[in-house]
Amino acid sequence: MQFLDKSKELNKNPLLKRVILFLVGTLLLYLGVDTLLHNQQIGLTLTTATHTILGNEEEFLDPILFDTLLEKTHANLLSSMITIMLLATIYIRLTKYTQKRQPVIHLTFLTAILSHVALLLTQSYPLLIGIWISLFLLWHLLALYLSVIILWKLR
């Protein structure tokens, strides 16, 4: 992220601008694919997520194993934190310091972390399934917001 130290020279260097645009585009692609993947594997509606996590005797669906859930959470936590860290770093470098900047970044990190914690606790507390879905979608929307602001600043 050394190239972000020279963000004041961004308008003078079109190659650097393209590199950052490509990075943000790749992160946007990750956010979209991550949402589709979670929708396919676990489900992003209350009924499909409940059937996947807790199982369904009528449809002969076994509940997801805690080991599998822990492994998914471990991989997703790493990739989501890297994504948010990159977006936050670029966002901080490209925007002026205001009090409005901090809550968006903090809320994005907190909702991402809490969504992973809520997902792990869903097997013990089924009421957290709805909270997990809302936190998951919220952090993706906040990351999308950061990406749109970055793209707007780089236009």
- At residue 19 the predicted structure's pLDDT band, cuts being 50, 70 and 90, is very high
Question: What is the chain's length?
Answer: 155
**pLDDT over threshold 80, residue 4:** no
| CA gap 71, 66 in Å, rounded | 8
pLDDT at position 138 is 98
Rounded to 5 degrees, φ, ψ at 110 are -65, -45
Note the pTM of the prediction, 2 decimals: 0.89
Number of Cβ within a 10 Å radius of residue 144: 16
Please provide residue 53's backbone torsions phi and psi, each rounded to the nearest 5 degrees: -75, -45
| Residue 6 pLDDT > 80 | no
Give the model confidence (pLDDT) of 63-116 as tens digits: 899 999 999 999 999 999 999 999 999 999 888 877 778 899 999 999 999 999
* Among 6-10, 39-43, 59-63, the least confident range: 6-10
